Amino acid sequence: MRDTFIKTLIFLSILLIVGLSFFAFPLLRGILSPFAADSEIIEDLDNTIDLPTYEEEPYEEDPYPYYNEEEEYDEEEEEERERPTLVPEARERYLNNDIVAHIQIPGTAIDYLIVHTNNNSFYLYHDLWRNRTAAGTVFLDYLNSTDFSDSNSIIYGHNMRNGTKFHDIRMYRGREFFETNDVMVVTTVYDVLYYDIFAIFTTHINFNYIQVEFEEGEFLEMVEEIKSRSYHSTDVEVDEDDSILILSTCWGPVGTDYRLVLVGKLRSDDNYDEDDDL
């Protein structure tokens, strides 16, 4: 009798468990289904969304273009004079209209294209393709005119330990080298310009040798200060109406506020002979 009761109790318990499972499973599935759906969505998102990666700020074109590609010289004024092709060809090669000139100093490794944009920071660490690089690119001060018509045109370049960019300026501290490599050649889209080197000096940045705009008398005052700081003296005379070219590079440890500066005076048409040695 007792065994029969126990068997009956076990049978009823099994029926109760089965019955509860039958009714409870849909309810439990309904409760859990939102979480299950979220899991599917999350998995799907993980497979379709690209995680954000750091990108440099895009290069912004100069809102005030330095050069109008559609600009044409008056043929009567230009007569049969040919414009240099070096810069236009370089612009096409590098797909970069920031290229405005080329500088070469015979006797040194300085032989570079020059760029110009609306600031003095971008090309400190970007190449001619506008790719990031520690070597940067040789560039003209953003305040300068790209035809080099200012009284003072300034070109910047890094002092690279591997001998590139403006590293060779340091050699001008030697008198013999200074005297035998005394010309800088700049080719623009307008002309080929020759500068006679007359000064080499080191200075703290508190000397404003990169001044572009001048009040009356300020230009010659700056030139005299440059001459007084130079390692060497020359017989090159600079007048109020003359133009000079400055090459500026860092001097000393990284981050220093000292500069090494090379300076030349633009040759005028009346003191330039095509047979002169460069």
**Tens digit of pLDDT for each residue in 101-122?**
999 999 999 999 999 999 999 9
Average pLDDT, the chain: 79
Least trusted range by pLDDT, from 45-54, 76-85, 107-116, 199-208: 45-54
208: left (phi over 0), alpha (psi -120 to 50) or beta: beta
Bigger pLDDT: 78 or 204? Answer: 204
Rounded-to-integer distance, Cα 117 and Cα 62, Å: 6
CA quadruple 244, 247, 251, 253: dihedral positive or negative?
A: positive
Contacts of 251 (CB under 8 A, 6+ apart): 159, 202, 258, 259, 260
Query: Is the pLDDT confidence value at 144 over 70?
Result: yes
Tokens matching residue 230 = 């130079």
**Which amino acid, residue 252?**
G
Average pLDDT over residues 167-178: 97
204 φ/ψ angles, rounded to the nearest 5 degrees? -80, 155
- The 3-state DSSP class for residue 152 equals strand
Query: Is the pLDDT confidence value at 71 over 90?
Result: no
b/e string for 227-246 if b means 16 or more Cβ within 10 A? bebbebeeebebeeebbbbb
Q: What is the pLDDT of residue 265?
A: 98
Tokens matching residue 248 = 């500026």
Fold adopted by 84-271 = Sortase; Chain: A; (2.40.260)
What is the DSSP-derived secondary structure letter of residue 159?
Answer: B
Contacts of the segment 104-108: beta carbons below 8 A, 24+ positions apart: 104/184, 104/185, 104/187, 105/168, 105/181, 105/183, 105/184, 105/185, 106/181, 106/183, 106/185, 106/278, 107/177, 107/180, 107/181, 108/168, 108/169, 108/171, 108/181
Q: What is the pLDDT of residue 217?
A: 94
Cβ–Cβ under 8 Å, residues 84 and 147? no
